[in-house]
Structure 1
Amino acid sequence: MAQNDPHDGEAHDDTEYNRRSFLTGAGSASMVGLLASTGLVSADDDGRDPGPKEDELLIGVSSSVSDIEAEVGPEIPGDAWIEHTNETIHYAVISLPESTPESARETIIDTLEDIDQIEYAEENATLEALSQPNDPYYGQQHAPQQVNCEQAWETTYGSDDVVISIVDQGIQYDHPVLADNMDDSVSDHGNVFVGRGSDPYPVSGNEQHGTHVGGIAAAGTDNGTGHAGISNCSMLSARALDQNGQGSLSDIADAIQWSVDAGADIINLSLGSSSGFRTLAAACQYAADNDVLLVGAAGNSSAYGAMYPAAYDEVVAVSALNSNDSLASFSNYGPAIDLAAPGSQVISAVPWDNYTRMSGTSMSAPVVAGVAGLVLSAYPDLTGAELRAHLQSTAVDVGLSSNAQGHGRVDAGEAVTTVPEGYTGETPSDGTDGDNEDEENEGDDDEQDDQDEQDDVAGRLLAFITEPEANSAAYEFTAEGAVEFADAPYESPSGGNIEGGTYTSEDFIDEDGDTVHAGGITGGGHGDAFDVDGAVTDIDLEQSDVMWVELDGEEMTPEEIIEETGGSDDDDDSSDEPTERLLAFITETDASNAGYEFTADGPVEFTEAPYESPSGGSIEGGTYTSEDFIDDDSDPVRAGGITGGGHGDAFTVTGPIHSIDLEQPDVMWVELEGDELSPEEIIDETGGDGDDDETGGDGDDDETPNCGDQTDGASADGELEGGWQGDSDRYTYALRTDSPCGATISLESSGGADVTLYLNTDGSVPDQQSYEESVDANGDLTLDLEGDEHLGLRVHASNGSATYAFEIEERGR
């Protein structure tokens, strides 16, 4: 698409998509006469103020009514007037005087709902953008890598025939990284539904949410500019939220309907309300009926249940993950979740020609919308329902409950390279999508070489930042591999610079073989930064009360950074410790004194579940002090209790569960992390042995098996061509010994490339940004195994070509 001319700051009122004429159609002229005869006044839409509409009601009318204003007009009070009608999804907006008491509003609603041709009446509620407030960051991306875009981009970067509409704040459509992907089929690349005019351009630099969301889904990719969006699909801007991030229910419903009629294939809704509304549901149904995929943000309240519109069946509800594939602390969860995607510290564009990081399910939703665009580019004959099902079936299980991840984390590579079930339409192999090949051949060679050099950098940004009151705060760390001073591309929260090596007498980097020792002094709200190309093995902060540490712009504890970079001591089993899980015993309402017991390894504690039972009862352990118990002195730990009447008991369990005994299984069930499972499934899921009688014994010590009595393993080799994005081969390995206890992985390579093997133990294939362990070429990695692991491996080469070979030596008892 052609580059858009720079925005001149003026609204273009002559657009062919005038909001009122588009929504009311050819009958608007006759309506004026009718309104005059009834004594009503119709407001000019271009004169409506932006933001909440507290004095308006939405009147849903039967689809059989051909003239909405004629039907509604005679039924409303004489001091009310019709603001606007939508003939497509069949509703009218009426305004009431500001002085109308709440009791009178309720009477009007009740009266209108008694009329045969009126299906409902509801407030014109306010919906809001769903980003979580945070300090902005610039830096390296992780979202595209985390959802495996590199594999998808080998097939397609996205087709401009696929249109994604962003119903949100306005988008800075002449932003350097967005301009080429803005849809040119409508004037100003979109439309306005909140405020005046028809140009969806942001009204101020503080209106960032819409541009950021749009940049995640469809910023220019592989163009040497800014950050990489998920897709190169076309983008429409439907400005339905004002600069404060608020928009009325009617504005958002109209924006959804307009997006459908303007040709959108996918609509992103990074906004929400805790309540559902008939008008919003009707707009979503209209999109679904017209084969448009709706993607919605689940919400940022850390609460059980998705917000609306994500909670509607017609919308793909998306939860947010952090860079380690854990559920983000702010993300909502619950049975409505369809998919999960990165939503923590995601980098994207903001006005004016800038970039920043934001967190929220508002960020995870456009990741899914962008992946949907890639899939539809590869398989253009998919229906909206088929597209949704394909995204679900190719999602990756990251080990969370279905309430947290739905079908799993969206996976662009799997979704694009896997032909949808039953699909008979055009595919990439038919030559229908040449976007990738064309884009790879475009551009100046020198610019591409510069981009290659940037992308070949494998280091991570480690920053030590201080509060303004800090004075000469010292720190030290050790790491494996190269360490260099760096200048972070963002400021501290107090506006200080973050640059290493500025205090030449104190800041240092000392190399001792493969180990690097570095440190320095900073303060006054400033910070020091380093590029670290390897595992961080130790961090020491002299004044931890006024200094914190960030990795790639995300604040973490020293322990989290060490674990994230693979710096944990191989002899330290802390990284292999079982995860703390929520175990709940819940009853039917007719249950009375239902007893239960279980045994488990590791700490067991009473807790309160963050949700209620289906009958509305609380789920909290330890409430019956005379019956509920935890016996920490037994090995394994023994716990139990009594509950009933639709209530339940809850525990946090850190370790395998070996046995579960329910006294009344006909009126009690068990849940693990909010998912109802059988006792046998929970024991298997947590890695329990299923037999708590084997807690001791009188066996002969001489017969005790040793780790290494049994061995097995596998090997693989290959050749990689590391281009500007690098090249990878992926493997999985299932444990083979009877009782696995350990493994050693050795990696050899030859050639000019930097070769690294990345490892996860949960079966998921890691990437360069999200992994549990790693080993560089000509090195070994030693693992302690519990027996329930499934290894996922990625061998990645960058900065050249190389051959490699690796071997897994598994040890068992």
Structure 2
Amino acid sequence: MADNTNLTRRSFLGATAASTVAMVGAASAAPGGGNGTDRREYIVGVSATEDDPKGYVKQHLKGNEDATKANDTLNSVVVGLPENAADPAHENFRDRLESADAVKYVEENAELQAQVAPNDPRYDDQYADQQVNAPDAWDVTFGDTSVTIGVVDQGIKYDHPDLDGNMDGSVSNYGRDFVDNDSDPYPDALSDEYHGTHVGGIAAAEIDNSEGVTGIGNSSVLSGRALSEGGSGSTSDIADAVTWAADQGADVINLSLGGGGYTDTMKNAVSYAADNGSLVVAAAGNDGQGSVSYPAAYSECLAVSALDPDETLASYSNYGSEIELAAPGTNVLSTWTDDGYDSISGTSMATPVVAGVAGLALAQYDLTNAELRDHLKATAVDVGLSADQQGSGRVDAGNAVTTEPGSGDGGGGGGGGDGSTSTTVTDSLSGYWDSNCWSYGFEYSSPSKVVVELDGPSDADFDLYANTGVDACPTTSDYDYRSWTTDSQETITIDSPDASTDLHALVDSYSGSGEYTLTITEYE
């Protein structure tokens, strides 16, 4: 690791950082916090300086407001209000909670949807695994069940004859149900709840077992049921499933879902997963527009667009600057809840193709999630689309398994150079009024990526902000990038940063004091 001569402290006194995210309108029905459709739900994020977030929130509730559940990892609490409560009651609730010292944000517990598009006429057999050259990878490895793919989706029919051998047996019933809050993620209604089974089969239906179809690789599948039989799920349930999958040691987490806007809760969940070693792969969305849906749009997620069989962008697939990889998504044949097989289309189908290739790469190479992400991009194949449509290119299993990471001998899809440089500095903040601003001079003329990491005290709540392309320190209200979890572990990842000026990073105390370490890693 380099010394800290490339980081320069700027004299800077931050504001108190007491402002919070503006509240968006609540959904018209409860998304799934366990109280039925007679409640409207919000998620309250509480600073890590409070060791009992649910108890803290309860102190600020009145009348029929009810704290229903908490995620202690994210320090978030779901609060239900009566569905028929008048608007002033909701405004009073928001104002009251947002003014509490330890509350960082209040936001709706919005619903997200499975990212599946209407089905076109099915193909007679599979094509997706051949299109990504999985047979070339299988000449080396069929995969390894020690590699775990967490599928946060509808429940998976884990006794399907083409899946039962590749389910993760380290957890009872191969997962957890966050919709019904129990230990069995089996689908509630097999005729309706097929999406999770289909997604799981694309990534990891058993290979070389004389049964049905092949998945991309023989990874183990961990089922986090966060979407109901209706295909939707609440922000809190999905965030709970993501953090749980990370805690179970999932190497890859597949999110074939989306449709909600930016939320701090989901951002914190995918940040937690990435910080704990999981590669989070997410569907770009099926609106056919130049805007990538959340959670795929978070920098912590590897966003995937969908291709037709001829490797053109599928008409339904979203696209945009956040896209990192493309994969076949139209008429993908996979496992179904009748113990048979069927074909459906969507960015939901493209995403587990990438997750499956990631699992094959991990069966062959020992890689961190950041190294795996770079390797998949470096070995992708350019199919002639714009970067907004394909990112680095179409994912390629053969290249990912047969190319030594960092060798530069991939498929030519692009992924930056092989060099990196890291700079670190240690300092401290005295209290909620204190901030430090640091400037960093880029080493490379055109860096492919820069990662800014903050490691702060466990009994405080520090936040991280960054600016690129402008010669000014960010503030807590004016910034290009922010990592704002409820603790002091923050990460900002910037792809293709503007190196025309120094990068500026602000470390701000939301609450508490202590020593922190700031690390900036730049990739060629």
TM-score higher than 0.5 here? yes
State the match for 1:285 in structure 2: 271
User: What residue identity is the alignment partner of 1:140?
Assistant: D
Residues 596-616 of structure 1 deviation map (CA, whole Å, 9 limit, x = unaligned): xxxxxxxxxxxxxxxxxxxxx
Aligned counterparts of 2:38 and 2:272: Cα–Cα separation in 1 = 23
Aligned pair 1:104/2:86, yes or no?
Answer: no
Q: Which protein is bigger by CA-based radius of gyration?
A: 1
Secondary structure in 1 aligned to 2:374? Answer: helix
State the match for 2:382 in structure 1: 397
Aligned pair 1:148/2:130, yes or no?
Answer: no
Question: What is the aligned counterpart of 1:370 among 356, 359, 378?
Answer: 356
State the match for 1:60 in structure 2: 45
Describe the shift of the 1:396–1:384 C-alpha distance in structure 2 as closer, same or farther (beyond 3 A).
same
User: What residue identity is the alignment partner of 1:305?
Assistant: S
State the match for 1:683 in structure 2: none
Aligned pair 1:172/2:195, yes or no?
Answer: no
- Residues 255-274 of structure 1: pairs in structure 2 closer than 5 A: 255-274=241-260
Aligned counterparts of 2:247 and 2:301: Cα–Cα separation in 1 = 18
- Residues 333-344 of structure 1: pairs in structure 2 closer than 5 A: 333-344=319-330
Secondary structure in 2 aligned to 1:318? Answer: strand
Aligned counterparts of 1:65 and 1:398: Cα–Cα separation in 2 = 51
How many angstroms does 1:206 deviate by? 1.7
Aligned counterparts of 1:59 and 1:157: Cα–Cα separation in 2 = 44
| TM-score where L is the length of structure 2 | 0.70
Residues 568-615 of structure 1 deviation map (CA, whole Å, 9 limit, x = unaligned): xxxxxxxxxxxxxxxxxxxxxxxxxxxxxxxxxxxxxxxxxxxxxxxx
**Residues 269 and 297 in structure 1, CA contact (< 8 A), matched pair in contact too:** yes
Aligned counterparts of 1:240 and 1:120: Cα–Cα separation in 2 = 23
Alignment length (residue pairs): 376
Aligned pair 1:387/2:382, yes or no?
Answer: no
Secondary structure in 2 aligned to 1:75? Answer: coil
User: What residue identity is the alignment partner of 1:200?
Assistant: P
State the match for 1:445 in structure 2: none
How many angstroms does 1:49 deviate by? 5.8
Aligned counterparts of 1:364 and 1:422: Cα–Cα separation in 2 = 27
**Residues 249 and 278 in structure 2, CA contact (< 8 A), matched pair in contact too:** no
User: What residue identity is the alignment partner of 1:242?
Assistant: S
Aligned pair 1:409/2:394, yes or no?
Answer: yes
Aligned pair 1:220/2:206, yes or no?
Answer: yes
Describe the shift of the 1:345–1:278 C-alpha distance in structure 2 as closer, same or farther (beyond 3 A).
same
Aligned counterparts of 2:171 and 2:400: Cα–Cα separation in 1 = 30
State the match for 2:101 in structure 1: 116
Describe the shift of the 1:235–1:60 C-alpha distance in structure 2 as closer, same or farther (beyond 3 A).
same
How many angstroms does 1:274 deviate by? 4.0
State the match for 1:244 in structure 2: 230
How many angstroms does 1:176 deviate by? 0.7
Secondary structure in 1 aligned to 2:82? Answer: coil
Secondary structure in 2 aligned to 1:215? Answer: helix
Residues 332-368 of structure 1 deviation map (CA, whole Å, 9 limit, x = unaligned): 0000101000000000011120100000000000000
**Residues 38 and 82 in structure 2, CA contact (< 8 A), matched pair in contact too:** no
Secondary structure in 1 aligned to 2:240? Answer: helix
Secondary structure in 2 aligned to 1:55? Answer: strand
- Residues 287-686 of structure 1: pairs in structure 2 closer than 5 A: 287-379=273-365, 381-421=366-406
User: What residue identity is the alignment partner of 1:91?
Assistant: S
Aligned counterparts of 1:162 and 1:102: Cα–Cα separation in 2 = 49
How many angstroms does 1:322 deviate by? 0.5
Residues 640-681 of structure 1 deviation map (CA, whole Å, 9 limit, x = unaligned): xxxxxxxxxxxxxxxxxxxxxxxxxxxxxxxxxxxxxxxxxx
How many angstroms does 1:198 deviate by? 2.3
How many angstroms does 1:64 deviate by? 1.8
State the match for 1:276 in structure 2: 262
Secondary structure in 2 aligned to 1:238? Answer: strand
State the match for 1:76 in structure 2: 61
Aligned counterparts of 1:87 and 1:322: Cα–Cα separation in 2 = 42
Aligned counterparts of 1:53 and 1:154: Cα–Cα separation in 2 = 55
Aligned counterparts of 2:104 and 2:181: Cα–Cα separation in 1 = 30
State the match for 2:178 in structure 1: 193
Aligned counterparts of 1:125 and 1:95: Cα–Cα separation in 2 = 13
How many angstroms does 1:109 deviate by? 1.6
How many angstroms does 1:47 deviate by? 9.4
User: What residue identity is the alignment partner of 2:216?
Assistant: I
User: What residue identity is the alignment partner of 1:275?
Assistant: G
Higher relative contact order at CA 8 Å, sep ≥6: structure 1 or structure 2?
Answer: 2
**Residues 163 and 206 in structure 2, CA contact (< 8 A), matched pair in contact too:** yes
**Residues 123 and 331 in structure 2, CA contact (< 8 A), matched pair in contact too:** no
How many angstroms does 1:74 deviate by? 1.0
Describe the shift of the 1:245–1:59 C-alpha distance in structure 2 as closer, same or farther (beyond 3 A).
same
Unaligned runs of 5+ in 2: 1-31, 409-524
How many angstroms does 1:404 deviate by? 0.4
How many angstroms does 1:108 deviate by? 1.7
**Residues 33 and 41 in structure 2, CA contact (< 8 A), matched pair in contact too:** no
Aligned counterparts of 1:163 and 1:101: Cα–Cα separation in 2 = 46
Unaligned runs of 5+ in 1: 1-45, 424-813
**Residues 120 and 331 in structure 2, CA contact (< 8 A), matched pair in contact too:** no
How many angstroms does 1:54 deviate by? 5.8
Secondary structure in 1 aligned to 2:325? Answer: strand
Question: What is the aligned counterpart of 1:235 among 205, 221, 231?
Answer: 221
User: What residue identity is the alignment partner of 2:208?
Assistant: D
**Residues 141 and 363 in structure 2, CA contact (< 8 A), matched pair in contact too:** yes
Aligned counterparts of 2:265 and 2:345: Cα–Cα separation in 1 = 29
Aligned counterparts of 2:373 and 2:178: Cα–Cα separation in 1 = 28
Aligned counterparts of 1:213 and 1:82: Cα–Cα separation in 2 = 33
Describe the shift of the 1:71–1:261 C-alpha distance in structure 2 as closer, same or farther (beyond 3 A).
same
Residues 183-239 of structure 1 deviation map (CA, whole Å, 9 limit, x = unaligned): 100100010000253211111222110000000000001111111100100001110
How many angstroms does 1:284 deviate by? 0.4
**Deviation >4 Å, runs of 4+:** none
**Residues 42 and 80 in structure 2, CA contact (< 8 A), matched pair in contact too:** yes
How many angstroms does 1:103 deviate by? 3.6
Aligned counterparts of 1:47 and 1:325: Cα–Cα separation in 2 = 40
How many angstroms does 1:136 deviate by? 6.8
Aligned counterparts of 2:82 and 2:162: Cα–Cα separation in 1 = 45
